[in-house]
A and B are shown apart, each in its own frame.
Chain A
C-alpha cells in the first residue's frame, strides 16, 4: 500500500487545499465504513484516506512532509470503532432501529416475526403457493365413466388425480391445494391438469352423446333381432326391428356420457349391414332369383338416365 499521501488522495504535489479537500470528500463518500456497512476492507482504505487528508489539509504538516521531516506513520491515527460495529445488529427495540424500509411489508416493526407468524393482517405475507401445470392422457372410457389415476410430478412424487365422469378432451382439471406450498400461512397453489382423451376403437364422443357404428348381419337386418351392444357401462341388449336399413339410427337413452348437472347423454347406434365374410352360394342363388322379381330402384330420384 502506498505510503504517499498525494498518491492516496490521487492529487498532484502542487495541488491546492481546495483540490485536496475535493479529492478527500470524493474518496470519503466512497470508502467511509459507516456509509458502506457491508464493505469490510473499507476500514483500512478509509484510514489511509483520512490519515493522508489530515497530513495534507494542515499546511504546516504538509510542508514538513514535503521537506521529508515526517512521514505517514507520524500521522497514523489510533484505531477506532465505527458506528457500523454497533449498528450491525440493529433489531426492533434498539434506539436507532428504523423500519421505514419495511413499511410496505406489513408489520413494519418486526417484519421477520410477522412473516413467520400468522398474525399478519396484511396480505403481503400470505403468499399463496405457485400454481402448477401438468398434462395427462386418459383412456376414452376413463374419461366417460370417471377414474382415479396418478400423475408423476417433476420431482417424482405421485399425485392422485380423480378424473370426473364426463371429462372431455382438452378439459383442464383443477386440483385445489395441490400446487406449490404457501408461505407465511398462505394457501398452497393449485395444480392444473390438461386432459387429453384417447380416441376409442368404436365409440365416438359427440358432446354428451356417444355414437357407435354397429355392424349387423343381413338376416338380422331383414328379420329383426335382439343383439348385444357395447355401451360405456357394459353391454346391453338392443332390439333391431325387422326390415332395418343400413344407416338406421337407434337410440339407447341414458347410455351416453354423464352430464355435469346429473343425468346422462344418449348412445346413438348406427346400423351397418355387413355381408357374410365369404360369398355364400345359397345366398347368391337366392339373390339372383329375388332380383328377377324385385322392382326396387334405390337410386330413383337421383336424376339418373
Chain B
C-alpha cells in the first residue's frame, strides 16, 4: 500500500508518518515509483501508535523500544534457526549439545 492508504488505515496524519520514517522506526520499500508499505509496517505502526498514544511513551522512548524490539526479533530469528538445526541432528549429537548446556548452565 502507498503512503495515503497507510495513513488511512492507521488513522494518522501524513506528518506523523513522516516523523516515523525520519526516525527510522519505519522503513518502507522505496525500490519502486512510490514508497510501499507492507502489512508488517501496519502492525509496526500500531505498536508505535499504542506506545505514544496509550502507553505514554515519548519519542525517545519509542526510539529505544523499537531498537530493542528489532534486536530481539533478530535474536529470536537466529535462535529459531539454531534450534531447528539442532532438531535435525541425530539423537547423540542433540544429547551432547544438551550436556554442554548443562555443564555451562
Contacts and interface: CB of A to CB of B under 8 A. Distances in A.
Nearest to B56: A25
B47 A34 contact: yes
B43 A89 contact: no
B73 A87 contact: yes
A83 B80 CA distance: 17
A84 B55 contact: no
B18 interface: no
A25 B76 contact: no
Contacts of B27: 95-96
Question: Chain A interface secondary structure, helix, strand, loop or mixed?
Answer: helix
Interface string B33-57: 0000011101110110010001110
Question: Chain B interface secondary structure, helix, strand, loop or mixed?
Answer: helix
Contacts of A35: 65, 69
B70 A82 contact: no
A288 to B, nearest CB: 79
Given A34-B69, A86-B39, A102 B78 contact: yes
Interface residues of A, number: 34
B23 interface: no
Given A25-B56, A83-B46, A89-B80, A99 B73 contact: no
B47 A90 contact: no
B91 to A, nearest CB: 15
A98 B74 contact: yes
A33 to B, nearest CB: 9
A138 B78 CA distance: 50
Interface in A101-116: 101-102, 111-112
B74 A84 contact: no
A28 B73 contact: no
Contact of A85 (B43, B56, B74, B75): B43
Contacts of A90: 70, 73-74, 76-77
A200 interface: no
B76 A80 contact: no
Given A28-B54, A34-B47, 5 more contacts: A28-B55, A32-B47, A81-B39, A95-B29, A98-B73
A24 B55 CA distance: 8
B71 interface: yes
Given A28-B55, A96-B27, A81 B43 contact: yes
Contacts of B29: 95
Contacts of A96: 27, 40, 44, 70, 73
B72 interface: yes
A99 B76 CA distance: 11
B80 to A, nearest CB: 7
B81 interface: yes
B67 interface: yes
Contacts of B54: 24-25, 28, 50, 53
Contacts of B42: 81
B76 A83 contact: no
A91 interface: yes
B47 A98 contact: no
A91 B78 CA distance: 7
Nearest 7 pairs of A and B residues by beta carbon = A86-B40, A98-B70, A90-B73, A83-B43, A87-B73, A95-B27, A90-B77
Contact of B77 (A25, A34, A89): A89
Nearest to A108: B74
A28 B71 CA distance: 21
